[in-house]
Structure 1
Amino acid sequence: MRGPVRATLVTGTAVAVAGAVAAAAIGFGGDPPATTDGTAPAPSTAAVTRATLTQTQQVNGTLDYGEPVTVNGRGSGVITWLPAPGAVIRRGKPVYKADNRPVSLFYGGLPLYRPLRAGDTGDDVHEVESNLAALGHTGFTVDDTYTASTAAAVRKWQKSAGRPQTGVFDPVDVVRAPAELRVTTLSGHLGDPADGPVLAYTGTTRMVRIALDVGLQGLVKQGVSATVTLPGGKTVDGTVTTVGSVATAGQAPSDPATIAVTVTLADQSALGALDQAPVGVKLVSASVPDALTVPVAALVALSEGGYGVQVVTGAASRYVPVQLGMFANGRVQITGEGITEGTLVGVPS
């Protein structure tokens, strides 16, 4: 026999369940004894059905491109060119120009922290060589060793950028980002020194960001499904991809602490031109497949404690104790002696 699966959802679920169970008991006229035969069937019946029960929670979020990242210039000179807000910049293209020389975009996860020359080794060498190869510079092996061949490729890259052809890679000549970027705001201006804040960017893929009440933290984990309702009522499918582990205090003392949750959306085309848009998010927090279920209203409180259902067979009925599992969508998972798919149980009119 399948054991019960306890509900683990949100604060308030237990209260709602108790209310529904109490209402069911009142509908049957109080607390009947267990396994007592009766001559009058329930006013109406419902069949025990086998189904997947799914618990969800509705929360609010914001559809946008993610948290902006600030680019700080690290070189000398002055800013002589800036992109327009909203511009998408890909690998090898200038993020801005200092002294009329491009500071280009390289992809990678490791901050480039030192000048590189022949004989140097390390993960930063591999990152630089990967970018050079992706930009069409050849004649070297992409590995973690900066060779004379790497220096030759760097000189070609420097020539294309109008820089002195030293063969030494200087990290101030590039901006590193994980992938292509989308410019959000400009903090620098033409003529400003090129050693301060220049601009802010995000990724190019929209997502939903949720500041989730820490009391609901048990609802979510990486990989659970979500349904996002856009302004206007259209829905799109999503997946929880990140769940923060550090709580952020509310702005006011009465505001709850929150954790950051991110939902990614596979169908970007369904989002139109939306950005910074409030959305509703239905999180799927738990599910039980192949569960025997009845309407919550079918539950009755038994005099000796616990709950049961009124099993109806022809003109007779009896009360059978049951163990309760998950509650969802007005139904409850039950297990009990003789309870099978298709069993008729009484429900109040």
Structure 2
Amino acid sequence: MRARYLVGGLTVLAAAAAAGLAVGLPTSSGGDEATASGPAQTATVTRQDLADTETKTGTLGYGTEHTVAARASGTVTWLPAENALVSRGRPLYRVDDQPVVLLYGAMPAYRQLRSGVEGPDVKQLEQNLKALGYGGFTVDREYTGATADAVRRWQEDLGLPETGTVEPGRIVYAAGQVRVDALSAAVGDLVQPGTPLLTRTGVDRAVVVELEVADERLAEAGAVVEVELPDGRRVPGKVSTVQTVIAPGANGADPTTSLEVTVTLTGEEAVRGFDQAAVDVGFTADTREGVLTVPVAALLALAEGGYGLELVEDGRTRITAVETGLFAAGRVEVSGDGLAEGAVVGMPS
């Protein structure tokens, strides 16, 4: 049997005569003939818990920032203060003294809503109207005359023309209450559709981590992580969202793809006093409990394929094939015939 030691990600051929050993071919029962001398260096097979963990740097803040841009031309007549919290039904900004209102939902406003139209965006609007206390209609996908009547009452309370029709630029949808992170415009500015007005975030403290696509295994929604704060304290967190971000390449280069991972914190009281800060986030991609492990460097790449270990028994050695599992922290999970905790295996010298 011919084998190669794995060293630093490379393989070094270890033929039957390596280190003065003469390793025989497997017997018919699957075992290997043993040699009378041992390797210069050895390691012990250990039973332990193994975890594939990595630490990445993230930014503690309020999660992903979203730009709110004007949807119509006019003059900015009111903006909220930075760090202000805006809830459902409240103005997010005013243009020509008419409010653009925050509502809750996942689907952005993209078309005019009026009597006769149908769709999930109609249902989303009706859910908000009902939550704000406007009734008299059925919450469904149909924009009926009863829906239009409720919209007129809503428009009257906002000081808007009572048309019963909702223009897409009249509302901004968000998942929930928002925090005004920064202002991009000032009262009195003339704006056009697409002019940035402000950036918004969520209201809960969160950490945003940018990962390479190669680290996708770490980014699983719902995964528990550990966040180390600048003062050394550690707080638990959970991956809430994972988004693919494609950034255009500079000077004609190919675009780059990354993963934006948002981590919500379950111990927010610990982060009081930190506005924005760099933090370390510990991700655990996989774990194994009570498995046999050896140093990765102890693995042999067998000429016939797969991996093996050089077992040292009573001063004699033999090569035995093994199955590998999780690789982590310089060790690898192994299993195979005759492999047990405390067994001694050869290491490259």
TM bucket by the smaller chain? 0.7 to 0.9
Question: SS at 1:167's partner residue?
Answer: coil
Does the C-alpha gap of structure 1 residues 332 and 190 become closer, same or farther in structure 2, counting only changes over 3 Å? closer
The answer as to 2:214 corresponding to 1:222 is no
CA apart distance, 1:137:
0.8
CA apart distance, 1:30:
3.9
Deviations 1:189-233 (A, max 9, x none): 22223644322212223443333345x345444345543322222
- Report what 1:260 is aligned to: 259
Identify the structure with the greater strand proportion.
2
1:1-349 aligned within 5 A: 16=8, 30=19, 32-34=21-23, 35-36=33-34, 46=44, 48-49=46-47, 51-75=48-72, 77-193=74-190, 195=192, 196-214=195-213, 216-217=214-215, 219-223=217-221, 224-235=223-234, 236-239=236-239, 241-242=241-242, 244=244, 246=246, 249=249, 259-267=258-266, 269=268, 270-295=270-295, 307-312=308-313, 318-323=317-322, 325=324, 326-340=326-340, 342-345=341-344
CA apart distance, 1:89:
0.8
Q: Distance in 2 between matches of 1:153 and 1:321?
A: 77
CA apart distance, 1:153:
1.2
Q: What letter is aligned with 2:309?
A: G
Q: What letter is aligned with 2:292?
A: L
The answer as to whether partners of 1:47 and 1:343 remain within 8 angstroms in 2 is yes
Does the C-alpha gap of structure 1 residues 121 and 15 become closer, same or farther in structure 2, counting only changes over 3 Å? same
Q: What letter is aligned with 1:173?
A: R
Q: Distance in 1 between matches of 2:107 and 2:133?
A: 21
CA apart distance, 1:238:
3.3
Does the C-alpha gap of structure 1 residues 311 and 188 become closer, same or farther in structure 2, counting only changes over 3 Å? same
Q: Distance in 2 between matches of 1:208 and 1:45?
A: 40
CA apart distance, 1:54:
2.1
Aligned length: 324
The answer as to whether partners of 2:114 and 2:143 remain within 8 angstroms in 1 is yes
CA apart distance, 1:144:
1.8
Q: What letter is aligned with 1:293?
A: T
Q: Distance in 1 between matches of 2:89 and 2:80?
A: 14
CA apart distance, 1:134:
0.9
The answer as to whether partners of 1:32 and 1:302 remain within 8 angstroms in 2 is no
Question: SS at 1:244's partner residue?
Answer: strand
- Report what 2:26 is aligned to: none
Q: Distance in 1 between matches of 2:289 and 2:169?
A: 56
Does the C-alpha gap of structure 1 residues 30 and 106 become closer, same or farther in structure 2, counting only changes over 3 Å? same
Structure 2: gaps (5+ residues): 1-5, 24-32
RMSD of Structure 2 on Structure 1 (CA): 4.1
Deviations 1:127-163 (A, max 9, x none): 2211101111111111122222212211221222122
Deviations 1:109-130 (A, max 9, x none): 3332344333333333222211
Normalising to structure 2: TM-score of the pair?
Answer: 0.74
Q: Distance in 2 between matches of 1:15 and 1:318?
A: 20
CA apart distance, 1:84:
0.7
Does the C-alpha gap of structure 1 residues 322 and 267 become closer, same or farther in structure 2, counting only changes over 3 Å? same
Structure 1: gaps (5+ residues): 1-13
Q: Distance in 2 between matches of 1:153 and 1:55?
A: 55
